[in-house]
Each structure stands twice: as C-alpha cells, then as structure tokens.
Chains A and B, each alone.
Chain A
Amino acid sequence: MRIFDPHIHMTSRTTDDYEAMFAAGVRALVEPAFWLGQPRTSPESFYDYFDSLLGWEPYRAAQFGIQHFCTIALNPKEANDPRCMPVLDELPRYLAKDRVVAVGEIGYDSMTKEEDEALARQLQLAIEHELPALVHTPHRDKEAGTRRTLDVVRESGIAPELVVLDHLNELTVSMVLDSGCWAGFSVYPKTKMSEDRMVRIIQEHGSDRVLVNSAADWGRSDPLKTRKTGLAMLAAGFAADEVDKVLWRNPVAFYGQSGRLDLDPVLDEPKPDESATYQGNSIKRGGE
C-alpha cells in the first residue's frame, strides 16, 4: 500500500513515527503550517517555523525514505492576534519556494472579522502564486462555518478544484463536493472522523476529490490512520486500486496542481546518507 499523507504535522512527531510510517507504506507527505499549541507572540517565531518546514523537517523525513512537502500560511487562530498579522506581508517570499505546494492552513476558527480578512487575503495569495489552498474548517459550529467558508472561496474567484476543505464530516461533505472543491477528512483516534465512518462516506459519496489524512500533531492522534483507513476500505470490499486512488493518486493530483510536487528527485542530488546518519547525526545519536 503506497500512501501519501496530505496533512500531517511532523514537527510534533518522533523518528519512531517516521520509521513506523515508512514501514506502513508512507512515501510522501504534506506538512501544513499551523498552530503550535502555544501562542506565538512575534512574526519572527513564524519565520523560523517556516524555515524549519522547508529545511530541517524535509531533511529528517528524507533519512527515513519519506518525501516531505509543506504548505505555508498564517493559521486562523493566530490571525486573531494583531502581533502576528505582519506575517501576512512576508508570505510571498515563502510561497515562492520549491517545496511549498499550497497555501495553508487557512480558514476559520471562531469566525471573527480578523479571520475573514486573513482568509480572503490568503486566498488571493494562492491565486497570485498559482497554488492550491488547504482550508481548515472550524471544529465548533462546523456546518455554518463550512457554508461560510464556501461563500468566501466562491467570492475569491479561485478555481474550486484548487481548494480542499479539510476536517469534514457526514454533515459537511455534500456541500463541499457539490461546490467543486476537494473534500478532506482527518481520521483521528477519538474525534473528527474514524476509519469506519470514512469507509461509509466513500461508499455513499464515491472517492473522487476525496483526501484522507491523519492530521497527526501534538495532540492525541495517530500517524498510521491513513493505512488503517486503507485496510478498513479493503475489509469493506473496496478494490486495492480504489485504495490507491484515495491514499496516493488523489493527493498527488491535488497538490500536483502546484506544479512543484517533484516526486522523482534526481538520485545524485546531495541528500543525507541513511547508513551514515544512524551513527553520525545528532537526531539519531540519542544522548551523545
């Protein structure tokens, strides 16, 4: 089973996770810029974080045979803090980078006026940079929030096929698929979406424009939920090709619209030597 996790926050995960993900079939992933749990109080904290999404994290991932891409944005929650707003002005510099395959996560948290502005501005940035957009839907008041998000997407003028609305559920999937946008589902141990519910949604709505992710982060989450969903699909009678479509071809098609999803790198490009780094690199040296 080859797996592309279209939404996972590896910054919060360990090398054990990378090993387990590789063993489970994960060969590529997208790490969206997001909220870190602890509020950031200055734009500079964001820039170091973005640099890490473009530098250290792909380097770590490569050591485990996983290709790492990212999305860059000011997340909805922190868009409410005036101290963080200057980040919006610096985004164009990051959206020009090779491994940035979308603008994201953008969207609503509490549906404030500030979030409205940040969402609209960043959808325009996606249009200017010819990038897809990864749009988070709010956890509270989800149905109304999703409807409002779709209105803003429509008003922005961005092509719906360049937009994925994420963290959907049974009540929000139809309106998103009907809009022409992609539908993203975050399969979690307890909240958001489960493997079995995911299977029923695909049975009912089909697998076109459907993305399944683990959205694993620093909270209770599981980086292997993509594979577990694939196994649940097989157990429910889906063909292996359908699983491959959901877990690999769909995310490749969605992020491929950026023109930057370079999944077949030149082999002799400098990259960390796997055998060497086991003994040499600090992240694998334990306490040395």
Chain B
Amino acid sequence: MISGIPELRTVLEPEARAWLDTAVDRIIADPTAIGALFPAVRRRCGRARIDGHWTIDEAARAVLLTALPLHDPALTETVGALHRHGDPAEQRAVLRALPLIDDEGRFLFLVRETLRGNDTTLIEAALGPYAARHLPDDEYRQAVLKCVFYEIPLSRVAGLDERADAELARMLADFARERIAAGRAVPEDITPVIRAFAPADDRPAALDGAS
C-alpha cells in the first residue's frame, strides 16, 4: 500500500511549486500559518489525479502537514482543527496524510468521526493504511461492512488481506443472506472473504452456486 507522498516536483507548474515551497517555509517558521495556507492549496496547485492513491491537492496538503514542526499535544490540536474546519477535499487530504504524521493511532478520532458519516469519498479516504494499522478489530470489521453497504469496492480498503477473519466472514455471509432474501444483488467482491474464512456449512448457498 502506498503511503509516501508522490514526487510533486514533476507534476506541479513552476508557479505552483514556488507557492508550495514558500508555504512550507512559512509553516516551518510559524506553524499557525497553515490555517490560511491549507484551504488555498487546490486553487494554487491544482486537483488532478497523480496515481491511484493521491490527487495533486491531497499530496500538496500532505506536504504542508508533514512540514509542521510540532509535537503532541500541539500537533493533534492543529491537525484536528484543520479537519474540523476543512471542507471535504481538505478532510480527505488530512485523512490520507495520517500515516505520514503519526504512527501511534492518535488521530483515530478523525477516522471514527468520518466512519459515522455518509460521504463515501471521505469514508474511502479514512480507510487507508492508517485505519488498517490502528483500528481495533471490531471497528475495522464494521468499517468493511459499511463499505459493502455503500458499495465502495473492497479493493479500495487498505489491509483487508491481513485483517479479514472468521468474524468478518460471518458478518458478510449474514449480509449476503439478507440481500438474497430481499431479492437484491450481492456485491461480488465479498465472496473471496466469505470463501476464505466462513465454514463451508455457514455459507449462503446461492454464493457457492455463483462462479
């Protein structure tokens, strides 16, 4: 799973690159400067997609976050405020940058708040490597099930190979039975987890019948 910030130098226009460099210097000199710089990133640097994980604005915002010369509790406070006052694009950037600024799970409250919401773009951003590493088992399973409900492809959820277990398989099998009983479609991407972990006698028959 990608966690580093992609090389921005090659994708940014010279003017945007200069703006970002100056922004980083200003944040190093005065961390409170990030409050005004963070929301301006999209207009200054652009928003195109770089790869499967990052857009330009998210990567540039991650650069600003990693420039913060702060330690706890100031870091948690500053990043928490950027998320609290951020629009969805800013919040996605904060969520994607979490593994770059913290390896102890201090920002799980942001992940949890996002998972309570309904915006699938935010939910997807919250379920990256950070959540995969730090979310407790029961919350991780609920998050995966929520993705299935919201039809977020499970290929976009980090850590599923390592964290899928028998309990998750049971939950997904129950979900599949509910859908089948209602005459509704069952997303195909849940079958590998069910097959790998649910006992053969606890699989929805219709799933085994499928390819």
Distance A283 CA – B87 CA, assembled complex (angstroms) = 20
Closest to B92 in A: A270
**What's the nearest-Cβ distance from chain B to residue A131, in Å?**
13
Does residue B89 face the partner (Cβ distance < 8 Å to A)?
yes
**What's the nearest-Cβ distance from chain B to residue A70, in Å?**
10
* Chain B 26-46: CB-based contact to A (< 8 A → 1; otherwise 0): 000000000110011011000
What A residues does B85 contact at CB under 8 A? Answer: 93
Closest to B41 in A: A98
Closest to A267 in B: B49
**What's the nearest-Cβ distance from chain B to residue A37, in Å?**
24
Distance A277 CA – B150 CA, assembled complex (angstroms) = 7
Most buried by A among B48, B120, B152: B120
What B residues does A55 contact at CB under 8 A? Answer: 87-88, 119
Does residue A271 face the partner (Cβ distance < 8 Å to B)?
yes
* Residues of A in contact with B, size category: 20 to 34
Q: How many residues of B contact A (CB 8 A)?
A: 27
Does residue B9 face the partner (Cβ distance < 8 Å to A)?
no
Distance A265 CA – B49 CA, assembled complex (angstroms) = 12
What A residues does B49 contact at CB under 8 A? Answer: 266, 268-269
What A residues does B121 contact at CB under 8 A? Answer: 59, 270-272
Do A54 and B120 contact each other (CB < 8 Å), given the known contacts A266-B47, A276-B151?
A: no
Q: Would A276 and B150 count as touching, CB distance under 8 A?
A: yes
Q: Would B118 and A260 count as touching, CB distance under 8 A?
A: no
Q: Would B118 and A54 count as touching, CB distance under 8 A?
A: no
Closest to B156 in A: A270
Does residue B184 face the partner (Cβ distance < 8 Å to A)?
yes
Q: Would B149 and A270 count as touching, CB distance under 8 A?
A: no
Distance A265 CA – B55 CA, assembled complex (angstroms) = 13
Distance A98 CA – B89 CA, assembled complex (angstroms) = 9
Q: Which parts of A269-286 form the interface with B (CB within 8 Å)?
A: 269-273, 276-277, 279-283
Q: Would A260 and B43 count as touching, CB distance under 8 A?
A: yes
What A residues does B47 contact at CB under 8 A? Answer: 265-266, 269
**What's the nearest-Cβ distance from chain B to residue A4, in Å?**
21
Q: Would B40 and A283 count as touching, CB distance under 8 A?
A: no
Q: Would A98 and B151 count as touching, CB distance under 8 A?
A: no
> Among the listed B43, B88, B149, which residue makes an inter-chain contact with A59, where contact means beta carbons less than 8 Å apart?
B88
Does residue A56 face the partner (Cβ distance < 8 Å to B)?
yes
Distance A170 CA – B40 CA, assembled complex (angstroms) = 41
> Among the listed A54, A271, A272, which residue makes an inter-chain contact with B87, where contact means beta carbons less than 8 Å apart?
A54
Does residue A99 face the partner (Cβ distance < 8 Å to B)?
yes
**What's the nearest-Cβ distance from chain B to residue A255, in Å?**
15
Distance A99 CA – B184 CA, assembled complex (angstroms) = 37
Distance A281 CA – B146 CA, assembled complex (angstroms) = 10
Closest to A94 in B: B85
Do A279 and B40 contact each other (CB < 8 Å), given the known contacts A98-B87, A99-B87, A272-B121?
A: no
What A residues does B43 contact at CB under 8 A? Answer: 98, 259-260
Distance A56 CA – B120 CA, assembled complex (angstroms) = 11
Q: Which parts of A79-107 form the interface with B (CB within 8 Å)?
A: 93, 96-99
> Among the listed B48, B151, B185, which residue makes an inter-chain contact with A273, where contact means beta carbons less than 8 Å apart?
B151
What B residues does A265 contact at CB under 8 A? Answer: 47
What A residues does B118 contact at CB under 8 A? Answer: 56, 59, 281-283
What B residues does A54 contact at CB under 8 A? Answer: 87-88
**What's the nearest-Cβ distance from chain A to residue B18, in Å?**
19
What B residues does A260 contact at CB under 8 A? Answer: 43
Q: Which parts of A238-266 form the interface with B (CB within 8 Å)?
A: 259-260, 265-266
CB-defined A-B contacts under 8 Å, sample of 21: A55-B87, A55-B119, A56-B119, A59-B88, A93-B35, A93-B39, A259-B43, A260-B43, A265-B47, A266-B47, A269-B47, A269-B49, A269-B55, A270-B92, A270-B124, A277-B120, A277-B150, A277-B151, A281-B118, A281-B150, A283-B118
A residues within 8 Å of B by Cβ? 54-56, 58-59, 93, 96-99, 259-260, 265-266, 268-273, 276-277, 279-283
B residues within 8 Å of A by Cβ? 35-36, 39-40, 42-43, 47-49, 55, 85, 87-89, 92, 118-121, 124-125, 149-152, 184-185
